[in-house]
Amino acid sequence: MHRMLTISLIIFLSLEVTAEEPNKVDSDLVPLPREVKAPKNNPTTPAKVELGKKLFFDPRLSGDDKMSCATCHAPDKAYGDGLALSPGAGGKLLERNTQTCLNVGFFKSFFWDGRAKSLEEQALGPIESKVEMDQDLNELEVELAAIPGYVTEFQTVFGTKPNREDIAKALAAFQRTLVTEPSPFDQFLAGDKDALSDEAKRGLELFRGDAGCIECHNGPLLSDGKFYRLGVSFKDEGRAKISGKKEDRYRFRTPSLRNIAETAPYMHDGSQKTLEDVVTFYFRGIPASGPDGLSLDTESLDFLSFSDIDAMVEFLKSLSGKAPKVTPPKLP
């Protein structure tokens, strides 16, 4: 009698555990919201978005008037540039791979090391950076104030002359509109069981199961927004450069996997050429520690039970949704 009770208790408990597992995992994978919420001090308005779009495409934002945001974040390249590393001011290569601006408004921190806390804070970085657009912000304000079209637009949108703070706000507002339409994966999550091929479904099972990807790649962007050391390379100290903490060395923000098939090459240094290469990198397994003895942040990965590289790549391809149509504007 006693024994019976124990056995049924064990059965009951184990049922509970297995019944809970898929639910927890499902709540980690959610559709992309259709809109980015704007901060209170920078509400999105159509006129502000239009102004931001012009600034985004305007090479006069750079020191030599040759480079715009869209030079590196090109609409026809999923708002990246297709390069491992892009040439910045004077043609010198930057140190990190260009990130996409698609769906970027859903992040809570920006850049590979998370050093900017808002899109407003992020926007002036590349303009001022000596290695990117190399533009003096005082000069930029003077330059834009001499363009009548911009003077009128800043007056209408902000009630001021062109100034750095409102340049940043307009750029941020434009980027918040770069939200992709539902991907096959979103349609699948919404209940359309045929939206994914059988191979992609197998990939999804691995992704949220044995391969452990979902530990870090979760939520609407398939990024937890946290920082990890995968040992991709040991040149760039990553997050440690801004936190000053030794344990943050070589850590980078988990990238979004939205439209990932369109933004090759991959990783913070652009060292992986294709999605097959990235998945093979994970599949081979990552050593437990780097050259300086720092342990890597990969305990959650169980590579032994993950062997279907093609299925994983098929799943990753299902994460692409159509980008909103943006035609390069006529500049004032």
Q: Which residues are known to be catalytic? A: 132
| Residue of 54, 96, 239, 249 that binds ligand HEC (CB under 6 A) | 96
What number of chain residues touch ligand HEC (CB under 6 A)?
Answer: 55
Minimum CB separation of residue 318 from ligand HEC in Å reads 12
Q: Does 78 bind ligand HEC (CB under 6 A)?
A: no
- If phi > 0 it is left, if psi is from -120 to 50 it is alpha, else beta; for residue 212 that is left
Residue with smaller CB distance to ligand HEC, 175 or 183: 175
- If phi > 0 it is left, if psi is from -120 to 50 it is alpha, else beta; for residue 151 that is alpha
Stretch that binds ligand HEC, among 39-47, 147-155, 225-233, 319-327 (CB under 6 A): 225-233
Separation between Cα atoms, residue 233 and residue 151, nearest integer Å: 46
From residue 300, alpha-carbon distances to 21, 216, 239, 286 in Å are: 16, 9, 21, 11
Separation between Cα atoms, residue 223 and residue 301, nearest integer Å: 16
Whether 137 and 67 have beta carbons less than 8 Å apart is answered as no
Instruction: Provide the 10 A C-beta neighbour count for residue 58.
Output: 20
Tell me the two tokens of residue 81.
Answer: 């540039």
Binders of ligand HEC in range 271-300 (CB under 6 A): 275, 278-279, 282, 297-298, 300
The answer, yes or no, to whether the previous bond of 162 is cis (omega within 30 of 0) is: no
Stretch that binds ligand HEC, among 97-105, 158-166, 191-199, 318-326 (CB under 6 A): 97-105
Stretch that binds ligand HEC, among 15-23, 33-41, 99-107, 137-145 (CB under 6 A): 99-107
| Residue of 29, 36, 133, 157 that binds ligand HEC (CB under 6 A) | 133
Residue with smaller CB distance to ligand HEC, 196 or 301: 301
Residue with smaller CB distance to ligand HEC, 14 or 307: 307
Whether 211 and 82 have beta carbons less than 8 Å apart is answered as no
CA pseudo-torsion sign 156, 161, 162, 164: negative
Residue with smaller CB distance to ligand HEC, 9 or 176: 176
Residues 6+ apart with CB under 8 A from 224: 216, 217, 218, 254
Print the binding letters for residues 49-68 with ligand HEC: x by CB under 6 A, - otherwise: ------------x-----x-
Instruction: Provide the 10 A C-beta neighbour count for residue 187.
Output: 17
- CA 234 vs. chain centroid, Å, equals 21
Q: What is the largest CA-CA distance in the chain?
A: 91
Q: Does 178 bind ligand HEC (CB under 6 A)?
A: no
> Site residues (CB under 6 A) for ligand HEC?
61, 67, 69, 71-73, 86, 88, 94, 96, 98-99, 101, 104, 107, 110-112, 119, 122-123, 126-127, 132-133, 171, 175, 211-213, 215-217, 228, 230, 232, 252, 254-255, 257, 260, 263, 266-268, 275, 278-279, 282, 297-298, 300-301, 312, 316
